[in-house]
Amino acid sequence: MVAQSTTFSAFSATLKRDLLIAFKRRNDLMNPLMFFFIVVTLFPIGITPEREGLREIAVGVLWVSALLASLLSMDNLYRSDYEDGSLEQLLLTPHPLYFMVLAKVISHWLVSGLPLVLLSPILGYVLALPAEAYWTMIVTLLMGTPVLSLLGSIGVALTVSLGSRGLILAMIILPMSVPVLIAGTLAVDQALAGGAVAGHLAIMGAMLAAALSLAPLASAAALRISVS
Amino acid sequence: MPATPSTSDSPAANSTPLLAARNLICERDDRVLFAGLDLELRSGEVVQLKGSNGSGKTTLLRILCGLNDSFSGEIQWQGRPIKGHSDAYLSNLLYIGHHVGVNKVLTPVENLRWSCALHEIATDVDILQALDRIGLRGYEESRCMTLSAGQKQRVSLARLLISPARLWILDEPFTTLDVNGVKLLETLLADHVENSGAALVTTHHNLSVAHHLRVLNLDTHVPDETILQPEGGW
């Protein structure tokens, strides 16, 4: 007799599957990354190549571009699963949907959020970001981009069944993302000013913890609504 | 109105039904799809759900799976309501819908690894054997986008061979299958009910699993007055 799978094996199968799909469609993954790169490199050209002017805006530009790039990639999260019926199969698993959604979001972050973080030091250099702010920027992006993916998954889950989504997704996700943007930029500004960043990082950590524990639940509920 | 049983010699007629639905009412866009629908599915039975296009066959199946909750009435699995006991129900349920749940960039093996892992532990050997039996030998490593609709259907049907689920809910599983595929699926259905499983199938095809078959016609569950209601409203 075939035994029932454990929640962990269902979780890891979902994670592996999504990573495999992402790997097989790696051309799609380049889009948000290229967007991030292009937007950031246009600023020195469009505003000023002067180091003094750039360092004023560097943090904001990096964070806003990261936010928009992650928004651009969000739609992949449930779209094809919705269209081919895999989402129904996902909802019919006897395991808690929380972990299945979490697996999908983790995989999404690994292929679309993490590359942004890895690319950010180069773009920080392009924007003449002072050396003392690099670590804070990387750490805040490392904590902030998962929050963006988690919040995005709620928005995508809500809108996946709509035929023409257009800007609705952005209008749902962006307001929720603003606190992350504020905390992230404040932390890096603080580092630039030579102050202590621990408080801001703690706030971001709290956001990450809250998003990790609540967003998959909200996404799961939204998916049930979208599929029914 | 009761279902119309074509034969009634099902082996476990007196035990608790595996799946029971009572007084299901479903309304969509101000139109009553069905009302007062009772359904019992016992182990060893295949129920064929019939009805004209748009009569709510797919909606009923999705309601029974718990994918759609815009209905009133009660659904029980082995005598317990599925709300609140969904784990026990879902681990015994295998649903294959219109969209077969096959990702087009993955191979059949990769697709099955995932869809099986959501329910049961299946080794690659199990999966390859199932694909072989279902008629996809040689296609194990092709991307599913290169397969025909019938072959994709077969990928999802391979789960029938692996899954230990007692209840199969299949939505139009025959539509894209060729003659051999139809025969194979009928054999699988017959084997399944022999092993005290149960199946609920929508199809326009005349199922030949003979003595276990019951037919439920959804067209008989539309109350007449509700069809007239729009005119009455004017």
Strand B80-81 to B72-77 pairing: antiparallel
Q: Tell me if A133 sits within 8 A of A192, measured CB to CB.
A: yes
CB A212 within 8 A of CB A150: yes
Q: What residue type is assigned to position A67 of the chain?
A: L
Tell me what pLDDT residue B8 has: 42
CB atoms within 10 A of CB B224: 6
Residue B143 CB neighbours (<10 A) = 15
A89–B101 C-beta distance less than 8 A: yes
Mean pLDDT, chain B, as a whole number? 83
Choose among B93, B121, B143: nearest Cβ to A3: B121
Q: How far is B126 from chain A (nearest CA, A)?
A: 10
Query: Bigger pLDDT: B35 or A205?
Result: A205
Query: Tell me, what's the pLDDT at B222?
Result: 66
Of B101, B156, B170, nearest to B127 (Cα)?
B156
ipTM exceeding the 0.90 mark: no
Question: What percent of chain B lies above the pLDDT cut of 70?
Answer: 88
pLDDT-based confidence at residue B229 (cuts at 50, 70, 90): very low
Query: pLDDT value at position A213?
Result: 95
Judge whether residue B212 has pLDDT over 80: no
User: CB A2 to CB B99 under 8 A?
Assistant: no
Min Cα–Cα distance to chain A from B7, Å: 31
The stretches in chain A having pLDDT less than 70 are 1-2
Q: Does A92 touch chain B (CB under 8 A)?
A: yes
Total length of chain B = 234
A92 with B93: Cβ contact below 8 A = yes
pLDDT tens across B151-191, in order?
Answer: 999 999 999 999 989 999 999 998 888 999 999 999 999 88
List CB contacts (< 8 A) between B65 and chain A: 92
Q: What is the pLDDT of residues A133-181, one digit of tens each?
A: 889 999 999 999 999 999 999 999 999 988 777 788 889 999 999 999 9
**Candidates A18, A86, A104, A226, partner chain B, best to mutate (most B CBs within 10 A):** A86
The count of other CB atoms within 10 Å of the CB of residue A129 is 23
pTM of the model: 0.88
Cβ neighbors of B187 (< 8 A, separation 6 or more) are: none
Asked if A161 has any chain B CB less than 8 Å from its own CB, the reply is no
Residue A73, pLDDT score: 86
- Give the minimum alpha-carbon distance from B2 to chain A in angstroms, rounded to a whole number: 27
Chain B residues whose CB is inside 8 A of the A2 CB are: 120-122, 126, 162-164
pLDDT digits (tens, 9 = 90+) for A2-16: 678 889 999 999 999
Cβ atoms within 10 A of the Cβ of A6, count? 12
| A84 touches B: beta carbon within 8 Å | yes
Give residue A97's pLDDT. Answer: 93
Tell me the C-alpha distance between B33 and B52, whole Å: 11
Instruction: Please answer yes or no on whether B118 and A91 come within 8 Å at the CB atom.
Output: no
- A10/B117 CB distance under 8 A: yes
- Going by pLDDT thresholds of 50, 70 and 90, the confidence category of residue B223 is low
Half-sphere exposure of B97 (CA within 13 A, CB side): 27
pLDDT given for residue A214 in this prediction: 96
In whole numbers, what is the pLDDT of chain A averaged over residues?
A: 90
**pLDDT for res B14:** 54
Residue of B nearest to A25 (CA): B105
pLDDT digits (tens, 9 = 90+) for B106-139: 999 999 999 999 998 888 899 999 999 998 888 8
